[in-house]
Amino acid sequence: MFELTVEARFSAAHCITGHAGRCAQLHGHNYRVVVTVAGEKLDEQGMVIDFGKLKEICCTATDPLDHTYLNDLPAFAHTNPTAEALARHIHEVIVEELADTMPAPVRVDRVTVYESDQSCATYRE
* Residues with catalytic function: 23, 67, 115
Burial class from Cβ neighbours inside 10 Å (0-12, 13-18, 19+) for residue 8 reads buried
Measured in residues, the chain has a length of 125
Say if CB 83 and CB 121 are below 8 A apart: yes
Say if CB 86 and CB 27 are below 8 A apart: no
φ/ψ of residue 78, rounded to 5: -120, 10
- Helix 51-62 to helix 83-101 angle, to the nearest 10 degrees? 130
The one-character DSSP state at 54 is H
Cα separation, 5 vs 120, in Å, equals 16
